[in-house]
Amino acid sequence: MSKKSTNTFIAHRWDGSNDYDKIANAVERAGLKPSDRSISEDAPLDSKGNHLMHDIYNKIDSASTVFVPARPSATKEGTVSRKEIEHAMEQGKTIIAVDTGATKRHSSFFSKNDIPVVPARKDSIAKAVRESENVK
């Protein structure tokens, strides 16, 4: 099966959560060839995080699809993850929340903003991406 290249940004935290790996693996298994736009774990930070946020926004701007963990902490007001989601929404990006199995609940923020929540399975990821392409 030939893989379709897509520019993706995966919102995540580098502090021990394995959401990134689960989402990236599901995207790859879905037959997509991700051109990953995520920020590396060793990205330099300035004292206020401005450099990091600037880099993150640039990466989101160059992505066609933004994947976010469906956990409630990803949408907590003022967090980096929430800022990533809001920026992606402002830019009209496709956003897909992925349930990695890390929590039993999802944030109501996703349903309130018509952001689909899908399991970290190849068929679910592929379907969500196809459906988002049909909407645009």
Report DSSP letters for the chain, one per residue.
-PPEEEEEEE---SSS--HHHHHHHHHHHTTEEEEE-PPPTT----TTSHHHHHHHHHHHHT-SEEEEE-SGGGG-TTSHHHHHHHHHHHTT-EEEEEE-SS-S---HHHHHTT--EEESSHHHHHHHHHHHHHH-
- Residue 115 reports pLDDT greater than 90: yes
Distance from C-alpha of 15 to C-alpha of 109, rounded to nearest angstrom? 23
Which residues does 92 contact at the CB level (< 8 Å), separation at least 6? none
Q: What is the arithmetic mean of pLDDT over 10-22?
A: 74
State the CATH class of domain 4-135.
alpha beta
Which residues does 126 contact at the CB level (< 8 Å), separation at least 6? 30, 31, 32
pLDDT of residue 135: 63
Average pLDDT, the chain: 82
Q: What is the pLDDT of residues 60-92, one digit of tens each?
A: 998 889 999 998 888 999 888 899 999 999 999
Q: Is the pTM of this model over 0.75?
A: yes
- Residue 1 reports pLDDT greater than 50: no
Q: Which of 1-15, 52-66, 72-86 has the lowest mean pLDDT?
A: 1-15
Distance from C-alpha of 58 to C-alpha of 60, rounded to nearest angstrom? 5
